[in-house]
Amino acid sequence: MTCESTGKIRAIQLSELSGVHTIERMSFPNPWPLHIFKQELTHSWSRLWGVFPAEGGAPVAFLLFWLVYDEVHILNIATHPGHRRKSLARSLLARLQEESLRVGARYLTLEVRPSNDPALKLYGELGFEVVGVRPRYYSDNGEDALGMVKPLNGASVPAR
Ligand SMILES: CC(C)(COP(=O)(O)OP(=O)(O)OC[C@H]1O[C@@H](n2cnc3c(N)ncnc32)[C@H](O)[C@@H]1OP(=O)(O)O)[C@@H](O)C(=O)NCCC(=O)NCCS
C-alpha cells in the first residue's frame, strides 16, 4: 500500500532489521535486542511492517503484531523521533485494521504503559478501550500495563 503523505507500508525483510532497531533504540528506555526482532521474523504468526518513504531506504516507523486465532495482538509500534506527528503510526494501525478485517479477526489487542500519553491518545482516538490492568507488567520499573482492545467484525468488548 502506498500513501502519498507517509510512504509505502510493506513487510520488513531480515536485511532491513538494523533500521528497525535504530528506531527501537531511539524510542524506548529498555529497547528490545536485535535478536528478538530476528526471532519474530521466523514465526509464522508474526508480522513486521514498516513505513518506507523512499524505495531502498530505511523504514521510519514499524509495527510488529501477531495473528492468533481471532485476535490480532500488537506487540510493538514505534516511529523514528524525527518523523513523529506525521500520521505514520495512525497509517500503520489503519492498514492493520484493514488486514484484520480481511482475515476475519474479532479483536485488536495491545498492552500500554499508563504513563505513555502519546500512545494512549493514539489508541483512544482509534477506538481502543481499556479492558484491564496487568499489575507490575513492565520489569524495568514495575509499572502496570493497561490492556486495550478494539473489537472488530461486530464483536463486543470482552467483559472486564
Ligand atoms: C506513540 C507513537 C508510536 C506515535 O507515533 P506517530 O507516528 O508520531 O503518531 P501519529 O503521527 O500517527 O499520531 C496520531 C495521533 O496520535 C496522538 N499522538 C501521537 N503522538 C502524540 C504526542 N506526542 N502527544 C499527544 N498526542 C499524540 C495524536 O492524537 C495524533 O494525532 P494528531 O497528530 O493529528 O494530533 C510514537 O510517539 C512513538 O514511537 N513513541 C515511542 C514508542 C512507543 O511508546 N510506542 C508505543 C508502545 S505501546
Between the CA of 119 and the centroid of ligand 1 the distance, in Å, is 5
CATH number, domain containing residue 113:
3.40.630.30
pTM of the model: 0.96
> How does DSSP classify residue 154?
T
Task: Convert the pLDDT of each residue in 19-46 to its tens digit.
Answer: 999 999 999 999 999 999 999 999 999 9
- Alpha-helical (H) ranges within the chain are 17-27, 34-42, 88-102, 117-125
Q: Residue of the nearest CA to atom 12 in ligand 1?
A: 87
Report if residue 156 sits inside a domain. Answer: no
78 Cβ inside 6 Å of ligand 1:
yes
Instruction: Pick the more confident residue, 2 or 144.
Output: 144
Report if residue 157 sits inside a domain. Answer: no
Q: Is 98 a catalytic residue?
A: no
Report if residue 123 sits inside a domain. Answer: yes
Q: Cite the beta strand spans of the chain per DSSP E.
A: 2-3, 7-11, 46-52, 61-68, 71-79, 107-112, 129-134, 145-151
Q: Is 129 a catalytic residue?
A: no
pLDDT of the residue at 82: 97
Report if residue 54 sits inside a domain. Answer: yes
Q: How far is CA 10 from the centre of its chain?
A: 14
Per-residue pLDDT, averaged over 83-103, amounts to 97
Report if residue 158 sits inside a domain. Answer: no
Grade residue 149 by pLDDT with cuts at 50, 70 and 90.
very high
Q: Does residue 18 carry a pLDDT above 90?
A: yes
Grade residue 152 by pLDDT with cuts at 50, 70 and 90.
very high
Per-residue pLDDT, averaged over 99-111, amounts to 96
118 Cβ inside 6 Å of ligand 1:
yes
* Sheet hosting strand 145-151, strand order edge to edge: 2-3, 7-11, 46-52, 61-68, 71-79, 107-112, 145-151, 129-134
73 Cβ inside 6 Å of ligand 1:
no
| 84 CB-near residues (< 8 Å, 6+ apart) | none
Q: Which of 111, 137, 138, 143 is catalytic?
A: 111
Report if residue 160 sits inside a domain. Answer: no
Between the CA of 26 and the centroid of ligand 1 the distance, in Å, is 14
Domain that holds residue 108: 2-151
- Tally of domains in the chain: 1
Grade residue 160 by pLDDT with cuts at 50, 70 and 90.
low
Question: 67: which 3 cell numbers?
Answer: 495473528
Give the separation between CA 18 and CA 37, rounded to whole angstroms. Answer: 10
